[in-house]
Amino acid sequence: MSLFVAVYILVALNLTFWNDAFHVFGGLHGAFYMFAAAIMLLVFAGMIVFSAKYLIKPFLVFLIIAGAIASYYTDFFGVVIDKEMIRNAVVTTPEEASHLITATFIMHVILYGVLPSALVLATRVKHRPLLSKAFVNLAAVVVCLSLCAGLAFANYSGLSSNIREHRDMMAKLTPFAPITSAIALVVSAYREIGLARAPLGTDAQIGPVIAKAQKPVVTIIVAGETARAMNFSLNGYQRDTNPELEARGVTNFTQTTSCGTATAVSLPCMFSVYGKKNYSDRKARSTDTLMDVLRRAGLDGYWWDNNTGSKGVADLISFASVTKQKNSPYCKQGECLDDIFLGKLDSKLAGITRNTVIVLHQLGSHGPAYFMRYPEEFRRFVPDCRTPQLSECSREEIVNAYDNTVLYTDHNLAAVIDLLKKHQDRVDGAMIYMSDHGESLGENGLFLHGAPYMFAPAEQTHVPFIAWFSDGYAQLTKLDRSCLAKYASAATSHDNLFHTVLGMMNVETKVYNPDLDVFAACRSVATDSQFGVGS
């Protein structure tokens, strides 16, 4: 039974894995056959370890069901289910999850998971006596591992180099790679139990520029969702997806990279002092965030969320989920369009009295239900995909739906700018927009996001970064907006957000690094040599 299930899982539930292996090993050559045989022997040996009465059947059923679920997302979307992908899935909302659990998914799990599992459960297994079973199982495991080692030794250079250079291939071995990733996530979560958050920027204070302001200074950070830079016409995309931002004279940085490829990583990394090179989930959870440093400096901080939460960034400041509103024309099926922020923001700006930073965490372009991210009047690019089951749509329809989400984000950001203009007699305002990660729309067979960063495509890591400043804000901070054009094509990243916002709000602290403040060189007191962006 273990052998039959091993063959079934490797043949029926690993089409993507074998397709990648076929290309990695250059086709049906000896190296490919030895690799396939070694994988089969390893899997068979692993199953034999659990071959005991009352254990083997539940174990095999678990593998089959897990494999059926994982193979759906791997085969249909090209998704690699690694530790960070699982972390992202754990923190998602039921509304988001519902877009991934479609009729096709359910049918796939029934055909490839439930029915084979039923066959396993219905099969009568004759077990040997305990000692005999232990001896036979041990012998079988030793033989399998010995043969596997022999195959590996016979083609060590080819196997080791291909596996080392193509880790993404091994990450698609279903369900074993996802199970290993899930175990790693549980272990890391256990180690983080009881972590205390270390204070950061205890010396933070408002500098003289903002301190002398006659009006409250307000910075609005719009944390975008799943927006990829290449579909913004501001970055040269052939479609006019940014007509409203273009008309408002924003500053657009064209070469910005993300810290991760999923919200669970990128969002806390954006607001972290560590930067991509030194970032880890443990460090982020055990250290104050940008919002905490701003609060410590005496600024008011607000996080308004139209997504799945702040991932710990806003734990110590005012947090509100706008998706909880009932009877709103912007909301349906438990999700809201991003224009739901605007009324709340208008009221806030009308009564603001203190220097403030407001974060708007968008739902943006989150897939696969792109068609639910924009209202009918922004359905400009048609025909657009009207289902979360992307396999039922052509690539043109998927791209059209995605471009409509970008067009709607353009409108939403322009509306935020217009509100800052509307209240410019009361506040000196600025807006900064940066997306958490990008999105694959079928390039090289990949869809959605969350690919391991080491081999993630540019579609998932190249993100938009846009800024706007009111006249009052520019005059107060002596910011030369025309100067910024010289640096619009410089390499920037999520690493810059932490220090750029501190600079925008004139927060003086030892943790502020002017070399990572994107706007530092364009304040009249700065020189070009002070400007160093990227990571």
389 C-beta neighbours (distance < 10 Å), count? 16
Q: Is 197 among the domain residues?
A: no
Residues spanned by the domain of 235:
205-530
Q: What pLDDT was estimated at residue 165? A: 63
Q: What pLDDT was estimated at residue 534? A: 43
Claim to verify: residue 184 and residue 111 sit in the same structural domain: yes
The residue from 162, 191, 220 where one domain ends is 191
Amino acid identity, position 163: I
pTM here is 0.82
Q: Is 199 among the domain residues?
A: no
What span, in angstroms and rounded, lies between the C-alpha atoms of 522 and 479? 6
Q: What pLDDT was estimated at residue 526? A: 43
Q: What pLDDT was estimated at residue 193? A: 73
Go through the chain and tell me how many residues it has.
535
Claim to verify: residue 80 and residue 103 sit in the same structural domain: yes
Q: What pLDDT was estimated at residue 528? A: 38
Claim to verify: residue 237 and residue 118 sit in the same structural domain: no
In the chain, how many domains are there? 2
Q: What pLDDT was estimated at residue 509? A: 97
- Whether residue 533 is predicted with pLDDT greater than 60 in this model: the reply is no
Cβ-contact 6, 42 below 8 angstroms: no
Claim to verify: residue 242 and residue 363 sit in the same structural domain: yes
Q: Is 196 among the domain residues?
A: no
- Neighbouring-strand partners of residue 318: 302
Q: Is 57 among the domain residues?
A: yes
Read off φ and ψ for residue 217, nearest 5 degrees: -100, 130
In the structure encoding, which two tokens stand for residue 111, read together?
Answer: 């055909």
What would the DSSP string read from start to end of 279-301?
--HHHHHTB--HHHHHHHTT-EE
The residue from 156, 191, 226 where one domain ends is 191
Claim to verify: residue 360 and residue 402 sit in the same structural domain: yes
The residue from 164, 191, 218 where one domain ends is 191
- Whether residue 377 is predicted with pLDDT greater than 50 in this model: the reply is yes
- Whether residue 328 is predicted with pLDDT greater than 50 in this model: the reply is yes
Claim to verify: residue 300 and residue 332 sit in the same structural domain: yes
Per-residue three-class SS string for 92-141: CCHHHHHCCCCHHHHHHHHHHHHHHHHHHHHCCCCCCCHHHHHHHHHHHH
Compute the half-sphere exposure of residue 369: CA atoms within 13 Å on the CB side of its CA.
16
Average pLDDT over residues 482-508: 95
Q: 479-483: which pairs have CB atoms within 8 A and are 24 or more residues apart?
A: 479/519, 479/522, 479/523, 480/522, 480/523, 480/524, 481/251, 481/522, 483/521, 483/522
Claim to verify: residue 505 and residue 399 sit in the same structural domain: yes
**pLDDT band at residue 88 using 50, 70 and 90 as cut-offs:** confident
Claim to verify: residue 480 and residue 418 sit in the same structural domain: yes
Claim to verify: residue 113 and residue 141 sit in the same structural domain: yes
| Secondary structure class of 51 (helix, strand, coil) | coil
Classify burial at 508, counting beta carbons within 10 Å of its beta carbon; exposed 0-12, middle 13-18, buried 19 or more.
middle
Q: Is 477 among the domain residues?
A: yes
What span, in angstroms and rounded, lies between the C-alpha atoms of 373 and 141? 52
- Whether residue 57 is predicted with pLDDT greater than 60 in this model: the reply is yes
Higher pLDDT, 40 or 325: 40
- Per residue in 348-372, pLDDT (tens digit) is 999 999 999 999 999 999 989 999 9
Summary mean pLDDT of the chain: 90
- Per residue in 424-481, pLDDT (tens digit) is 999 999 999 999 999 999 998 889 998 889 889 999 999 999 999 999 999 999 999 8
Q: Which CATH number do you get for residue 505?
A: 3.40.720.10
Average pLDDT over residues 104-123: 94
